[in-house]
Amino acid sequence: MTGQRDATDETDLVDADAATVPETAATLRNGRRDVAEEVERRLERIESVEPDVHALVAEPGRADRLRAAAAALRDRYPEPRDRPPLYGVPVGVKDIFHVDGLPTRAGSDLPVEELTGAEGSAVAALREAGAVVLGKTVTTEFAYFEPGPTRNPHDPDRTPGGSSSGSAAAVAAGETPLALGSQTIGSVLRPASFCGVVGFKPSYGRIPMDGVLPLAASVDHVGVFTRTVAGARTAASVLCDGWDGDDAGTADRPVLGVPEGPYLSQASAAGREQFAAQVEALGDAGYEVRRVDPFDDVEALNDRHNRLVAAEAALAHADWFDEYGDRYAESTADLVREGRDVSVGELADARESRGALRDRLASAAAAEGVDLWVSPAAPGPAPEGIGDTGDPVMNLPWTHAGLPAVSLPGGRVDGLPVGLQCVAGFGADERLLAWAGPMAAALDDAFGRRPPEQS
């Protein structure tokens, strides 16, 4: 319990009318609002909700830093016609990304000087596009399962999900319209679902991972959180290598594939019921739905991916764990110890299986005429308590294959948001987000959520 608000009243913590990325950028670029005014508005929002949400890593001097950044940006781009696409747009950055001028702690107790590094390509790209780093967002320890203090803005007694907990909650709470996260199993799609925002994870490698503390390099992905699909497309155009806005494919509705069988049975009864309602709503909107069972080996797949993560985490943390093992949380320490028991052959097989699964899913989609897979973005709504970030099992196969995925808000269960996960073929990121806009609008029509931007 927060002791400060009624946990059943989310109106103060969820800003459903907050400006989207495209709206914020347009307002700042054309001068209808000065970037200094935008900073003050965000600082006021942080002061209002942070005592309850705890989405941001504490930063002494945040206000002075942001005011100086706003002044520098205004001086650099005095003419509206010269302003870059994200001019003045605030962005939260998960605290496993190195950001010049801010420490990286990764939710851990390790000495901060051990975790230093050069600012990576993703943060640099956002800055070059004019974005202002609002601050670091809370992560679970080293982007695994040990949670931080962040709470779900829709119900502070529930988890926002992990490991990108702070990024999802900050967008939901209106502290920022855009935030960076990462996904190794389900750390973008799941918290997006729990917090009722859009989460986008591109194809593996489409956004460079340099300047980001690794968990499992073979399956680590950079991802983004926004309020709308339009915002995700704007962010992707800046962040994704080789983004081609004209390569979005046909505007026709994609044929949807429902992955039935043991994979879907991993969702809760309530989650499956809401997913059925989402699929029905899309069917009513004119989408063709085909039912396929591409995961008859889902338990073995889950185990293989988790062993891969453990093995690569052990490699990434080898020196730190030898020196500071007693400072690791139990769950993270157990992961490293498990990874040290994974043989070289098992690790090689797990890495090889990524491409094999990608090919198998592509073949299944082609055989059944499926353009886009749809499934629950999480087993159900956010669990109670903040000691457990929820189960990423619904995201795991798609992450293992490195496929682009987006979570769209898709109604509520017991008053809490649940998302629809949409997954395209490898490299089809542009088509995925082009398709996702009309699908989000159909879900909004069916379930009553109507954000300012839907395309």
Give the CATH number of domain 21-294+357-447; options: 3.90.1300.10, 3.60.110.10, 3.40.190.10, 3.30.1360.20. Answer: 3.90.1300.10
CB 426 within 8 A of CB 373: no
| Interacting residues of 212 by C-beta distance below 8 A, sequence separation 6+ | 96, 97, 98, 120, 122, 182, 220, 222
Q: What is the domain partition of the chain in residue ranges?
A: 21-294+357-447, 298-353
The whole-number pLDDT of residue 251 equals: 58
* Buried-state track 38-71, b at ≥16 Cβ within 10 A, e below 16: bbebbbebbebbeebbbbbbeeeebeebbeebbe
- Phi and psi for 5 in degrees, rounded to 5? -135, 160
Q: Is 162 helix (H, G, I), strand (E, B) or coil?
A: coil
Catalytically active residues, by annotation? 94, 163, 187
- Phi and psi for 361 in degrees, rounded to 5? -70, -35
Token pair listed for 256: 């949807």
Token pair listed for 322: 């030898």
| Positions in the chain short of pLDDT 70 | 1-11, 247-251, 449-455
The strand pairing partners of 374, in sequence order, are 422
Q: How far apart are CA 437 and CA 375, in angstroms?
A: 17
Q: How far apart are CA 33 and CA 39, in angstroms?
A: 10
Kindly tell me the burial class for residue 289, based on how many C-beta atoms sit within 10 Å of its own C-beta (0-12, 13-18, 19 or more).
middle
Q: How far apart are CA 444 and CA 149, in angstroms?
A: 31
CB 188 within 8 A of CB 182: yes
CB 173 within 8 A of CB 199: no
- Sequence-ordered strand ranges (E) for 231-306: 256-259, 289-292
CA angle (167, 225, 31) in 5-degree steps: 100
Token pair listed for 38: 């935008």
The whole-number pLDDT of residue 453 equals: 41
Token pair listed for 450: 């109507």
